[in-house]
Structure 1
């Protein structure tokens, strides 16, 4: 079994995370040429019950073909609480295909993450990343425990469509009803040094509204956006990625910091503003993300 090792310390761009329906071979083939940082091949919500087995085989065949470059490849299996989840996971693990991780839908407890991790370990794989989805009130309430559940957990994905239904919160332009839940999950991700991906935006024709929601998500602390249509890629990549101005400022911060250190100083000044260790750390991260995007 080949796969990319999971590591919380591995910095990967996750500005755009595009769902691709596992039953749609044409869509999955098209994803090879799309500017997405990550692709989630979906065996859950996007697949009807009588198509689950066929979609599973289609995803495996697609992964065998490869051709996705450096895009992060994730498969959203069905929950282990369904008739299909365990079969999804075992079929993927036993097929000998290369992919990066497994997305776990409707996770509400750390134990659900551990159950998937145990099945993966039983098949002799210690490397697959785990991406739990938080889509219910109980999942939000247990976000800290979920984020800390396993060393291979590298990202949390918000499922705001299901969360809206479960919490009886409407989708409004400002998402005011979601702010508390979203912030609680972002906090959990930051406490445990994992990425967190914002939920989908359902109106694919409303590009202005989508751009505003992306900006709000970035302001809330999200690392990227999950997407349902390729038309959303440009705005997600722009908003969640470092701009040319961000990169230039980061380079200037590192330059004045190195000059200050050479002079035996513990602080520096750039454009009249104090530069300290925390600004240097953020500048280094910005440049590392920009480099990872360029290399992708």
Structure 2
């Protein structure tokens, strides 16, 4: 998993120079500078130049800057990979990854282009084939660090309906969380399309947090603040984590075999969870 929190990761259209400039001031943990869906075919080359210049600039502070390249089967993919390798973002985001072989192909292309070892691969999981092979994809290479759920594409390919609570997607989302956790990867939930529906967005962030996601991808700067709050420990969470650790350590000092807090059993796993909460709280300030 990433050592840098990725509560909020915002897509920015690579063909829009003003958007790339504005991204320098948006308090998202990460940015996906997009060469794929947000860019028309005639603007691909210009967007590539703008995005790679932005990624190489060092002007985005502590934000994790990534580049979403065009898919493996497209005419732009090879040029995107070569340019991204030279720009050295934190990661390349690859759409429509369907297999471990796809991941290894991208890795070999990055190596051939002279990409540094620390340039990671983020795989977009957005097809039924990818869901069924999620564990294989996660295990493909250590260079793959992150799953990004493409829920819009997945819904389309499933011929499913989007409903509050995402009933049609819960199984697939949970399966990908399992695969990511089994192989030590970060996993980001998909986007929420209605930027005016604050209540719906908050509910979906909460659902993603309950399922185990590390954060969420976003399509509008107005979603960043509430997303950051949803995927960060609350003051109550931090207080409870401190109490869990204190109760457990007190039981050790007293030679008791069992620790409890508010009548509930505390085990080593609860202490590990509490330490993870405190580490995340420290990381996000």
TM-score interval for Structure 1 and Structure 2 normalised by the shorter chain: over 0.9
CA distance in 2, matches of 1:138, 1:124: 28
Q: Which one of 150, 167, 177 corresponds to residue 168 of structure 2?
A: 177
Paired position in structure 2 for 1:164 = 155
Q: Which one of 227, 232, 235 corresponds to residue 236 of structure 1?
A: 227
Report SS of the residue matched to 2:12.
Answer: strand
State the 1:121 CA deviation: 2.1
Calculate the aligned-residue CA RMSD, in Å.
1.3
Kept after mapping to 1: 8 A contact 2:88/2:115? no
Kept after mapping to 2: 8 A contact 1:11/1:288? no
Does structure 1 residue 15 correspond to structure 2 residue 7? yes
Paired position in structure 1 for 2:279 = 288
Paired position in structure 2 for 1:73 = 65
Q: Which moved more, 1:207-216 or 1:265-274?
A: 265-274
State the 1:66 CA deviation: 2.3
Kept after mapping to 2: 8 A contact 1:11/1:289? no
Map Cα deviations across residues 154-205 of structure 1 (whole Å, 9 max, x no partner): 1101001111111101111121111111111111111111111111111111
CA distance in 1, matches of 2:221, 2:271: 35
Q: Which moved more, 1:264-273 or 1:11-20?
A: 264-273
Name the CA shift for 1:152/1:264 in 2 (closer, same or farther; >3 Å).
farther
Q: Which one of 30, 35, 49 corresponds to residue 22 of structure 2?
A: 30
Paired position in structure 1 for 2:105 = 115
Name the CA shift for 1:124/1:102 in 2 (closer, same or farther; >3 Å).
closer
Paired position in structure 2 for 1:4 = none
State the 1:124 CA deviation: 5.0
Report SS of the residue matched to 1:39.
Answer: strand
Paired position in structure 2 for 1:57 = 49
State the 1:63 CA deviation: 2.1
* 5+ long unaligned stretches in structure 1: 1-7
Map Cα deviations across residues 21-59 of structure 1 (whole Å, 9 max, x no partner): 111111111111111111111111110111111000001
Does structure 1 residue 220 correspond to structure 2 residue 211? yes
CA distance in 2, matches of 1:149, 1:43: 24
CA distance in 1, matches of 2:69, 2:227: 24
CA distance in 2, matches of 1:231, 1:33: 13
CA distance in 2, matches of 1:235, 1:140: 28
Q: Which one of 97, 100, 108 corresponds to residue 90 of structure 2?
A: 100
Name the CA shift for 1:219/1:124 in 2 (closer, same or farther; >3 Å).
closer
Paired position in structure 1 for 2:133 = 142
Q: Which moved more, 1:258-267 or 1:152-161?
A: 258-267
Does structure 1 residue 259 correspond to structure 2 residue 236? no
Kept after mapping to 1: 8 A contact 2:24/2:60? yes
Kept after mapping to 1: 8 A contact 2:55/2:66? no
Report SS of the residue matched to 2:15.
Answer: coil
Kept after mapping to 2: 8 A contact 1:120/1:126? no
Length-normalised TM-score, structure 1: 0.92
Length-normalised TM-score, structure 2: 0.96
Kept after mapping to 2: 8 A contact 1:133/1:156? yes
Report SS of the residue matched to 2:233.
Answer: coil
State the 1:147 CA deviation: 1.0
Paired position in structure 2 for 1:186 = 177
